[in-house]
Structure 1
């Protein structure tokens, strides 16, 4: 029985490492295909957004979590459920703005950057920008417009990775006339 438990753990670790290496190959190819880091950052965000738009359905089905009542509850679900489910980590939620419309996700360990060093000629590359797009796309599908960006990054010498999220507005569902 313990051999099966070890296989499951080994399988998860192997899947995580395969994802990390595959993601690294994707970023490398984007760096070759585009002129500058800013364009690569945009492409990573766009790809992440498209993933988030589709991933939210899987998340809602697997987690059986209902609609969050406010942005604080949304932050907790993102950190304690979504990141744990898909990346195997639990970031801390900190640095709330006084208005309660902005917070930081602090990742002590970002699995996307395992085995990664940024070359000197890519100092403005936001390597994990895919995560910002995923969060933005997923939240948009549950009627929340947010701004998501990296504030700190261990690849740039910071002690932690910090993703800053700001609530912009609740998106009203616009049903076509007659479909109400």
Structure 2
């Protein structure tokens, strides 16, 4: 069944969203990470906090995405991943991701970002080994997917801040939660 309305392109979505100055956003995010490192002292705790912050953001961003993108319900996890990569990343970060490395079951894939606006002006000191600086993004994806009934696990595989050639998140579908709409028959 074709969608009722055609989705907007990623570029059109990016142009239609109110946003703050990219440099201000990048610097503010960096200040948040720095403050978490100071307050929590343990890098693993900072990673957990960034993921939880992202999760909370993702649960709210999905509503805006669905309202502005005119995307109809995706039929499976593969289609959902493609929409996130081409429309979601473009709408909120101004970049697109490549979906790759699918497993045989179609329940696990990678999002590869060659550009990441969160890391402009960032160099990790040696004291921050183990810090997943962009962990907020994995939380956003996890939270957004949970709001559309997909329980996922998101982990970082590659990180350019650590010398890799790209940013890569592995997204694994744990289970698809059926939507339950209570039916009350008053007749």
Q: TM-score, normalised by structure 1?
A: 0.89
Cα distance, 1:138–1:176 mapped onto 2, change above 3 Å: same
- Give the distance between the partners of 1:19 and 1:140, measured in 2 at CA: 25
Displacement of 1:16: 1.1
- Give the distance between the partners of 1:138 and 1:179, measured in 2 at CA: 32
> Number of matched residues?
170
Aligned partner of 2:23 in structure 1 is 17
Aligned partner of 2:115 in structure 1 is 109
Gaps of 5+ in 1: 1-8
- Give the distance between the partners of 2:180 and 2:98, measured in 1 at CA: 34
Q: Does 1:70 align with 2:90?
A: no
Q: Secondary structure at the match of 2:156?
A: strand
Aligned partner of 2:139 in structure 1 is 133
Displacement of 1:99: 1.3
Question: 1:34-45, aligned counterparts within 5 Å?
Answer: 34-45=40-51
Aligned partner of 1:151 in structure 2 is 157
Cα distance, 1:178–1:98 mapped onto 2, change above 3 Å: same
Displacement of 1:13: 9.7
- Give the distance between the partners of 1:35 and 1:174, measured in 2 at CA: 42
Q: Of residues 42, 50, 56 in structure 2, which corresponds to 1:50?
A: 56
- Give the distance between the partners of 1:114 and 1:48, measured in 2 at CA: 19
The structure richer in helix per residue is 1
CA RMSD for the aligned pairs? 2.1
Aligned partner of 1:61 in structure 2 is 67
